[in-house]
Amino acid sequence: MSALQASVGAPHARILGVGGYRPSRVIPNSEIVDLIDSSDEWIRTRSGIVERRWATPEETVQMMSVAAGRQAIEAAGLEPQQIDCVIVATVSHMLQTPSAATLIADELGTDHPAAFDISAACAGFCHGVAMAADFVRGGSSRHVLVIGVERLSDLTDVRDRGTAFIFADGAGAAVVGPSQTPGIGPVVWGSAGEQAGLITQKKDWLEVLADGDTERPWLTMDGNPVFRWAAFEMAKVAQDALDRAGITAEELDCFVPHQANMRIIDALARTMKLPASVKIARDIATMGNTSAASIPLALERMIEQGEARSGDTALLIAFGAGLVYAAQVVVVP
Ligand SMILES: CC(C)(COP(=O)(O)OP(=O)(O)OC[C@H]1O[C@@H](n2cnc3c(N)ncnc32)[C@H](O)[C@@H]1OP(=O)(O)O)[C@@H](O)C(=O)NCCC(=O)NCCS
């Protein structure tokens, strides 16, 4: 019996370029407060959100993804045909099948890459980066486009006090490719399915139809326990990701946590004792919580504003519905 040949990948993987798309409709708190008996001041104090973006009908999941993906491919100095795998992390692609990834890959002008969606809610992008790094190192792909995209405005009840001011829309992307030096540290990831009920949908679509409802099965969130879980448990996960990458808090350049709540971001930074030299992503103030898109969008903004420079180390940590989480240290492209 002859031995099978195994694929051989690159020695290491790194992010080669990032991109983002921010929808055109800016929604200030003042546009939201009346329906939820809230105030601009309450939302700013409790969440740090000043405004968010909600997509127009033309700004579809596919459209936003293509824009972000194209920018990431250009930033990586590549042509679309060089992308041989497209991973799209989303919970708001409304078709059960085909996946968003195949449609996006086609519109981008790629050459028939592997293309599929993953469902890991707000942690989807970090899951995608972890997979992409392993694909590149394992030899199953050379250049992987990872997109995090959401239109959460389609799934958010504007009358729900617990979610209406938080969730938002957008797309972010990164190209992961080969590297001679480590550019993506070991992932620390996991799930806490026993807490699945904390962020979920009121019903599934079949139940909606069976019950004759005229409303969508909106997202629901029990914010307080999620807040405590994120602020305490995720600090340990973030520290673990640093330790596994062999980086101390003093050596870290940038901290790019999931943009869920400014108070969670501050609590994590405090618990981890991040020194003042570490630049912290605070995209949530103007973008709200864009779930899978939040980390690549925040990273893209830090690069654009010169806060994150090429060669810097950045700790990414994402967490969300599931509950699920993923964290890794990356080198900024
Ligand atoms: C949603 C969130 C901002 C709410 O903040 P909170 O401090 O936990 O607020 P609570 O639910 O404890 O409510 C506190 C008070 O504010 C009130 N309140 C709740 N929502 C309100 C709103 N939208 N506007 C005004 N008041 C509100 C409550 O009625 C309560 O009033 P009371 O003290 O008189 O009873 C916060 O829990 C949060 O960010 N959770 C995590 C979300 C997250 O990380 N999601 C990520 C996963 S994707």
Task: Tell me, using a 6 A CB cutoff, whether residue 162 lines ligand 1.
Answer: yes
pLDDT in tens, 4-55: 999 999 999 999 999 999 999 999 999 999 999 999 999 999 999 999 999 9
Q: Is the pLDDT of residue 197 over 90?
A: yes
- CA distances, 172 to each of 234, 236, 288 (Å): 22, 26, 14
CATH topology of domain 188-331: Peroxisomal Thiolase; Chain A, domain 1 (3.40.47)
Question: Exposed e or buried b for every residue in 82-108, given b needs 16+ CB within 10 A?
Answer: bbbbbbbbbbbbeeeeebbbbbbbbeb
Whole-prediction pTM value?
A: 0.96
CA of 187 from ligand 1 middle (Å) equals 31
260-302 pLDDT, tens digit each: 999 999 999 999 999 999 999 999 999 999 999 999 999 999 9
User: Same CATH fold, 188-331 and 12-179?
Assistant: yes
Please indicate whether residue 122 is annotated as part of the active site.
Answer: yes
Question: How much distance in Å is there from the Cα of 224 to the middle of ligand 1?
Answer: 6
Give me the catalytic one of 127, 143, 258, 261: 258
Active site residue 289: yes
User: Alpha-carbon distance 237 to 227, whole Å?
Assistant: 15
Q: Are 284 and 48 in contact (CB under 8 A)?
A: yes
Q: Is 127 a catalytic residue?
A: no
Compute CA 158 distance to the chain's CA centroid, rounded to the nearest angstrom.
22
| Mean pLDDT, rounded, for 240-245 | 98
Whole-number pLDDT of residue 2? 81
Binding site membership of 292 for ligand 1 (Cβ less than 6 Å): no
- From the CB of 36, is ligand 1 less than 6 Å away? yes
Say what percent of the chain tops pLDDT 90.
98
What is the number of the ligand 1 atom nearest to the C-alpha of 121? 48
Domain boundaries along the sequence of the chain:
12-179, 188-331
Q: Check if 91 has its Cβ closer than 6 Å to any atom of ligand 1.
A: no
Ligand 1 in reach of 224 Cβ (< 6 A): yes
CATH-assigned architecture of domain 12-179: 3-Layer(aba) Sandwich (3.40)
Q: For 115-149, how does the pLDDT look when each residue is reduced to its tens digit (9 = 90+)?
A: 999 999 999 999 999 999 999 999 999 999 999 99
Q: Please determine, for residue 1, whether its predicted confidence score (pLDDT) is greater than 90.
A: no
